């Protein structure tokens, strides 16, 4: 009879289980947040589950998928008692159980109060992250703008220096309108053209002397002829 009784009795009906649970409830310390029940139907659990998995892994030092899925199952209900969840997790998480439950229940209570079903802590963290990204983007844009302004100033200064240099340079004017251009043969660097010009000048002078020599010879012959007549 006793065997049939225990075989058809649930944990809630079993006085031994209820007495043990009551003893654990009295012996353990619970965070103030666990005094309130949580309706997980008002909570976006797909947002909370990643946090649960990451936090359990951080506290244990390794990933335990069995324990993580077990926690998901404990939170599946209309009204979830946080104290009972903590008792169920104590054998797995030991000294980390109280810390984990305090953080978890704080998130769940906040989420069920928000219309979005998302914990306010997550919303604040998201807003802060967005602000940081915006601040970083503004900083980068400011640095780019400063760099552009600096390059523009340097370019303007370089142009001003060039213009000042051109204004201060004296204009070179030829001393005579008869000055030959630099590409003339007179300005040959090796002096070869100058020597050729001198030779041409001498040749022309010799030619002119030669052209005058016949007339001089005729004059001299006439002079000699006249002298002979006078002598006779």
> Count of domains in the chain?
2
| Helix and strand element counts for the chain (H, E) | 8, 0
pLDDT value of position 207:
52
pLDDT value of position 187:
44
Q: Is residue 208 part of a domain?
A: yes
Answer with the one of 106, 127, 148 that is the final residue of a domain: 127
Q: Is the pLDDT of residue 177 over 70?
A: no
Q: Is residue 140 part of a domain?
A: no
Q: CA-CA distance, 117 to 45, in Å (whole number)?
A: 8
C-alpha dihedral over 127, 131, 134, 135, to 10 degrees?
-170
pLDDT value of position 20:
65
Residues 22 and 119 in one domain: yes
DSSP reduced 3-state for 79: coil
Comparison of pLDDT for 124 and 19, the residue scoring more: 124
Q: Is residue 52 part of a domain?
A: yes
Q: Is residue 66 part of a domain?
A: yes
pLDDT value of position 224:
47
Q: In this structure, what CATH number is given to the domain that contains residue 42?
A: 1.20.1390.10
Comparison of pLDDT for 152 and 175, the residue scoring more: 152
Q: What percent of the chain has pLDDT over 70?
A: 62
Q: Is the pLDDT of residue 128 over 70?
A: yes
Q: Is the pTM of this model over 0.85?
A: no
Domain that holds residue 52: 14-127
Compute the C-alpha angle 14/20/24, nearest 5°: 145
pLDDT digits (tens, 9 = 90+) for 59-93: 999 999 999 999 999 998 888 999 999 999 999 99
Q: Is residue 165 part of a domain?
A: no
CB count, 10 Å around CB of 111?
24
The DSSP symbol for 124 reads H
Residues 6+ apart with CB under 8 A from 99: 59
User: In this structure, what token pair is assigned to residue 111?
Assistant: 């989420």
Residues 114 and 192 in one domain: no
pLDDT value of position 165:
78
Q: Is residue 139 part of a domain?
A: no
Q: Is residue 4 part of a domain?
A: no
Residues 20 and 104 in one domain: yes
Contacts of the segment 125-134: beta carbons below 8 A, 24+ positions apart: none
CB count, 10 Å around CB of 51?
15
Q: Is the pLDDT of residue 215 over 50?
A: no
pLDDT digits (tens, 9 = 90+) for 3-28: 444 454 444 555 554 566 677 677 78
pLDDT bin (cut points 50, 70, 90) of residue 48 is: very high
Average pLDDT over all residues of the chain: 76
Q: Is residue 84 part of a domain?
A: yes
CA distances from 16 to 10, 13, 23, 172, 183 (A): 11, 9, 11, 118, 122
Comparison of pLDDT for 22 and 41, the residue scoring more: 41
pLDDT digits (tens, 9 = 90+) for 85-123: 999 999 999 999 999 999 999 999 999 999 999 999 999
């Amino acid at each position: 009879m006793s065997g049939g009784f225990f075989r058809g009795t649930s944990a809630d009906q079993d006085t031994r289980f209820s007495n043990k649970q009551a003893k654990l409830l009295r012996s353990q310390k619970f965070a103030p947040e666990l005094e309130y029940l949580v309706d997980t139907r008002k909570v976006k659990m797909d947002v909370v589950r990643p946090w649960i998995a990451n936090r359990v892994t951080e506290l244990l030092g390794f990933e335990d998928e069995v324990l993580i899925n077990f926690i998901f199952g404990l939170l599946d209900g209309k009204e979830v008692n946080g104290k009972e969840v903590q008792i169920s997790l104590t054998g797995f998480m030991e000294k980390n159980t109280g810390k984990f439950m305090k953080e978890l229940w704080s998130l769940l209570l906040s989420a069920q109060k928000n219309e979005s079903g998302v914990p306010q802590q997550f919303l604040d963290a998201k807003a802060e992250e967005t602000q940081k990204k915006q601040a970083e983007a503004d900083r980068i844009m400011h640095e780019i703008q400063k760099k552009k302004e600096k390059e523009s100033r340097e370019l303007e200064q370089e142009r001003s220096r060039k213009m000042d240099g051109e204004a201060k340079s004296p204009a070179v004017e030829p001393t005579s309108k008869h000055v030959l251009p630099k590409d003339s043969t007179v300005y040959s660097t090796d002096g070869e053209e100058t020597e050729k010009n001198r030779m041409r000048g001498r040749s022309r002078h010799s030619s002119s002397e030669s052209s005058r020599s016949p007339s001089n010879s005729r004059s001299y012959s006439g002079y000699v002829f006249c002298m002979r007549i006078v002598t006779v």
